[in-house]
């Protein structure tokens, strides 16, 4: 077995941080952060306390105002030697109004966002000399940053482990448990839980045995954490009358086990401390980066021993980059680097990753009913999704059949066409006509209608049904239509029309078969030929559906309705696998004539989780102006990829909607290109002679420009050449 190959990413060092959050306001979060700061400094770590948002303090008073958290931090470390390792605390944004961050910022004409605050944190980290940042949030997890985002969204964007501080008092359990659930649902790692007693833990309920109650709170939380599989320390702090020097030392000593845990080899396996080096000079950003790369390589090595990847060899495993998190249009690698996503996770994640609306739909439906068999039962998410799809699809489609994946949706479409022809007494129509250059999936029926030469399935040709292939549509999308492009279709219909059950093709854009954009008039002419010959027309919109070409469905470019339409990929926004095959009422009635039924039924058909997320994804498309976003993508791709047209070895550059393509004369060196792209901070996966981009619709203009710049740079550098 070859050694595991991974990609080292030069440049920015991964953020090494800990987010200190509270289960509510005034639970002692700042005191805990300050005491932990002291404990880490005593352990020899070059740590800096950073407050992303400080309210109730004017910027000029960030270190002097009585309410400034920086004063508390300074007080906590006042007894320590003032050496070079003492990094001053920093507040990145200060607002004078003592209120929630969104309100305090608005009062001064500012607007906070998780993305901008995350950039500020990363910028501060890159420019500083700290080995670790101790980030303190403002208030509880759900304190608003703006009308849509909370402090929790900032924590999710940063992705650092979270130290949760909870008030240990009567009723505090509820807030802490809800906070633990919120952290879990957002995929955040709990670094530890610290309980701080209030001034009067039994307030509102006199006669309570306070010590017994506090001990029970801690015991209950330990049990709940164990039940949830959370292996993080729980620390109980004493309440001290005054926070003077000895008090800070007492608190730091109570937190020393937590600090040791953070710096331990076991915690470092997922966080960044060097194995075998718990404290002191061994805890550096360089060590963190090294350990991140080692973790990445270890995961890739395990993968190569157990996993088989798509279109890859098990004997010669592919080059891999290990992923730990995703967010927005970013893929975060295990070793900490971030990549700008240019693929939308194989064209599916149109809203980017971890969109809160999609995650909320997933969690909400999971709490009610993750799945139930669809034979003899139904449920609201499936019915609602079918209704909405029929409203969005070309007029005339009346029935929706749900499937597990795009390939299965194509199988369903082919079976529908065959059963339709049998139902109308045309059982001799058993062949499918399809253009060369098409791709429809990897299952057997789908493989039979993929290009027999370039469709990756020539190994199985002896076992596949033999279909009929016509010339690829030769009329470019951006050129005047040539009626002669339909001549081959006319010839085949004239010669073999009585054998053809249906024509299947990808409307306007041939995807994996070559990213070819052809004229919509071709579809109109082909529809006429199908009607004249008694054949059905099937549109495979798995890649083109839901706005990717600039229309909700690519069929709209031609203004026609197929008899059957397949969709998938972006249907759930890239969160879960789901596909659908829709047909006209006539097709459905003919299949079911004489009491017949359609012979297909996937076990996970109409999965409730996937249907609920798909409905939320359609909500986002409607609410967030996908047309404008795709138009902006198209403009950015046209401008950004234009310089590639003049580069040596480039055959064509074409853009349509949210798809940008650079086609080369010769097949590209996929592995060398992939390495180049990751090294330059983007995720692009080329194939054959194509380097193409399909970014999420939410991708900002500067990231589109970066994707295009890196593509052009790779081609200029010759990274695509097979000799590399």
Closest CA to 539 of 481, 477, 494, 583: 583
Residue 169 annotated to the active site: no
Half-sphere exposure of 275 (CA within 13 A, CB side): 8
Please state whether beta strands 650-656 and 659-664 pair in parallel, antiparallel, or not at all (unpaired).
Answer: antiparallel
Give the closest residue to 673 by CA, choosing from 693, 691, 651, 696. 691
Please classify residue 315 by burial: count the beta carbons closer than 10 Å to its beta carbon, then call 0-12 exposed, 13-18 middle and 19+ buried. exposed
26 is catalytic: no
- Cα Rg for the chain, rounded, in angstroms? 30
**Coil, helix or strand at residue 402:** strand
Catalytic residue among 296, 451, 540, 563: 540
Q: What CA–CA distance (Å, rounded) separates 706 from 172?
A: 47
Whole-number Cα distances in Å, 344 to 113, 124, 347, 569, 614: 23, 29, 5, 10, 16
- Is 411:446 a contact under the CB 8 Å cutoff? yes
What DSSP state is assigned to residue 274?
P
Of 307, 345, 309, the residue nearest 329 (C-alpha): 345
Helix, strand, or coil here: 48?
strand
Let me know if 652 is a catalytic residue.
no
Of the candidates 569, 692, 697, 703, the residue annotated as catalytic is 569
Cα(267)–Cα(270) distance, rounded to whole angstroms? 6
Q: State the Cα–Cα distance between residues 122 and 117, nearest whole angstrom.
A: 9
3-class secondary structure for 623-638? HCCHHHHHHHHHHHHH
Q: Which of 439, 518, 676, 692 is catalytic?
A: 439
> E-assigned strands of 33-149?
47-51, 54-55, 90-91, 94-95, 132-140
User: Catalytic residue at 311?
Assistant: yes
- In angstroms, rounded to a whole number, what is the distance separating the alpha carbons of residues 667 and 545? 28
d(CA 502, CA 445): 13
Cβ atoms within 10 Å of 479's Cβ, excluding its own: 10
DSSP state of 437: T
CA torsion, ordered 428, 429, 431, 435, to nearest 10 deg: 150
Task: Give helix 151-158 / helix 114-127 axis angle, nearest 10°.
Answer: 50
Residues designated as active site: 311, 439, 540, 569
């Amino acid at each position: 077995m070859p050694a595991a190959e991974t990609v080292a990413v030069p440049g920015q060092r991964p953020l090494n941080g800990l987010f200190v959050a509270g289960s509510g306001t005034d639970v002692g979060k700042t005191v805990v952060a300050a005491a932990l700061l002291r404990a880490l400094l005593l352990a020899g770590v070059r740590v800096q306390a950073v407050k992303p948002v400080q309210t109730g303090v004017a910027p000029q008073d960030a270190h002097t105002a009585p309410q400034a958290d920086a004063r508390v931090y300074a007080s906590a470390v006042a007894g320590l030697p003032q050496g070079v390792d003492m990094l001053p605390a920093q507040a990145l944004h200060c607002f004078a109004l003592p209120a929630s961050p969104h309100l305090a910022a608005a009062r001064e004409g500012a607007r906070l966002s998780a993305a901008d605050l995350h950039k500020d944190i990363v910028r501060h980290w890159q420019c500083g000399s700290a080995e670790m940042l101790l980030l303190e949030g403002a208030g509880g997890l759900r304190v608003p940053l703006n009308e849509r985002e909370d402090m929790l969204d900032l924590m999710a964007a940063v992705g650092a482990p979270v130290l949760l501080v909870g008030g240990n008092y009567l009723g505090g359990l509820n807030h802490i448990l809800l906070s633990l659930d919120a952290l879990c649902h957002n995929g955040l790692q709990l670094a530890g839980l610290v309980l701080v007693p209030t001034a009067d833990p039994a307030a509102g309920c006199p006669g309570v045995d306070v010590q017994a109650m506090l001990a029970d709170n801690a015991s209950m939380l330990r049990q709940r954490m164990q039940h949830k599989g959370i292996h993080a320390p729980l620390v109980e702090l004493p309440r001290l009358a005054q926070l003077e020097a000895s008090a800070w030392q007492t608190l730091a000593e109570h937190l020393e086990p937590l600090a040791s845990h953070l710096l331990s080899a076991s915690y470092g396996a997922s966080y960044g401390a060097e194995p075998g080096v718990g404290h002191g000079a061994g805890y550096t950003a360089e060590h963190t980066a090294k350990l991140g790369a080692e973790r990445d390589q270890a995961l890739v090595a395990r993968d190569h021993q157990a996993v088989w990847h798509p279109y890859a060899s098990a004997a010669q495993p592919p080059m891999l980059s290990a992923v730990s998190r995703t967010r927005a249009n970013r893929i975060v690698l295990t070793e900490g680097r971030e990549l700008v996503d240019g693929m939308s996770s194989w064209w599916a994640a149109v809203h980017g990753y971890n969109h809160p609306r999609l995650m909320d739909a997933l969690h909400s439906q999971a709490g009610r009913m993750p799945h139930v068999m669809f034979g003899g039962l139904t449920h609201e998410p499936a019915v609602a999704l079918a209704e909405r799809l029929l409203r969005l699809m070309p007029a005339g489609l009346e029935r929706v059949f749900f499937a597990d994946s795009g390939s299965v949706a194509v199988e369903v479409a082919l079976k529908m066409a065959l059963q339709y022809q049998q139902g109308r007494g045309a059982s001799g129509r058993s062949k499918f006509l399809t253009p060369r250059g098409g791709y429809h999936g990897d299952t057997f029926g789908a493989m039979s209608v993929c290009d027999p030469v370039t469709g990756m399935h020539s190994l199985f040709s002896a076992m596949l049904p033999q279909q009929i292939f016509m010339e690829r549509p030769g009329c470019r999308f951006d050129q005047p239509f040539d009626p002669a492009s339909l001549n081959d279709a006319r010839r085949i219909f004239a010669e073999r029309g009585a054998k053809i059950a249906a024509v299947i093709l990808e409307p306007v854009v041939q995807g994996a078969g070559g990213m070819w954009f052809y004229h919509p008039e071709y579809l109109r002419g082909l529809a006429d030929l199908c009607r004249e010959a008694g054949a059905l027309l099937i549109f495979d919109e798995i890649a083109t559906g839901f706005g990717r070409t600039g229309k909700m469905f690519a069929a709209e470019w031609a203004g026609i309705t197929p008899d059957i339409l397949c969709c998938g990929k972006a249907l759930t926004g890239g969160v879960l696998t789901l596909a659908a095959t829709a047909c006209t009422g006539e097709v459905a009635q003919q299949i079911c004539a004489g009491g017949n039924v359609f012979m297909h039924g996937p076990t996970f058909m109409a999965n409730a989780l996937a249907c609920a997320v798909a409905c939320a994804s359609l909500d986002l498309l409607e609410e967030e102006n996908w047309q404008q976003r795709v138009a902006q993508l198209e403009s950015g791709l046209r401008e950004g990829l234009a310089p590639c047209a003049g580069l040596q070895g480039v055959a064509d550059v074409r853009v349509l909607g949210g798809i940008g393509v650079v086609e080369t004369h010769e097949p590209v060196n996929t592995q060398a290109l992939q390495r180049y792209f990751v090294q330059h901070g983007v995720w692009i996966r080329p194939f054959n002679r194509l380097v193409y981009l399909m970014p999420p619709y939410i991708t900002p203009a500067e990231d589109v420009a970066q994707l295009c710049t890196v593509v052009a740079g790779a081609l200029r550098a010759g990274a695509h050449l097979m000799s590399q």
